[in-house]
Amino acid sequence: MREYRTEELAEAAGIPVRTLRFYRERKLLPPPRREGRIAWYDDHHLARLRTIAALLERGHTLGGIAELTAAFENGRDVSQLGELLGIGWSEETPVRLTPEALADYFEGEVTPENLAASLDLGYLATDGDEIVHVSRRLLDVSSALVREGVPLAAVLETGRRVREHADAMASLFTELISAHLPQDALPRMRPLAKSVVEAELTMAMDRLLASGGGTGTGSASASGHTPSS
């Protein structure tokens, strides 16, 4: 990994030295390595400066970037995702993103609060200067909902509630298999569980739409609960 003096880093990032020092004072950059009176920066610092420039171009303020930076640095490491979710990567495909790429997926919705919620759910983790989303499918669905006008905060809250139901369904199927088949049959039976859940969800959506619930005037509003998405 290459190292840079202050002037060299500023030149590589295309910013004045005074701007680099200002970013340091605002704690937008991690501290450099010190060797006597010389401050040494590396490629991680350069990547951070390029991220700051990209986020500024997308309309973020320095204050907002500072809050996002703090949230990223306090986020869960990639190695903690499996422990957090109780699984490995499973069948899902993780996606590596730069902070500016994440901002493009959810334009105007990447706030410290939403970022913290995503980290708490285990959807996101940090890996050096990159962000890792646990699932390509979940990332695509979430960004599609946001593009349709659903607030990201509502998407994340619904995701939290969906996980509770998914955990319950997984427990039901596991209990069924464990009661009637050898324990090693469970991985082989997973596709059947997925088919059952998909079929039941499809029929449930059909019933909801047929009853008028999909318009927001059906059973959900009658029960006193407001749909979150």
Q: Is the pLDDT of residue 113 over 60?
A: yes
Most confident residue range from 90-104, 135-149, 177-191: 135-149
The per-residue pLDDT for 220 is 42
The per-residue pLDDT for 227 is 42
Give alpha helix (H) positions in the chain.
6-13, 17-25, 43-57, 62-73, 81-85, 99-105, 112-121, 136-147, 152-180, 186-210, 219-222
Question: Tens of pLDDT along 85-105?
Answer: 444 445 678 888 888 888 888
Q: Which residue has the higher pLDDT, 129 or 120?
A: 120
Q: Is the pLDDT of residue 228 over 50?
A: no
Q: Is the pLDDT of residue 82 over 60?
A: no
Question: Tens of pLDDT along 56-79?
Answer: 887 778 888 888 777 777 666 666
Q: Which residue has the higher pLDDT, 92 or 117?
A: 117
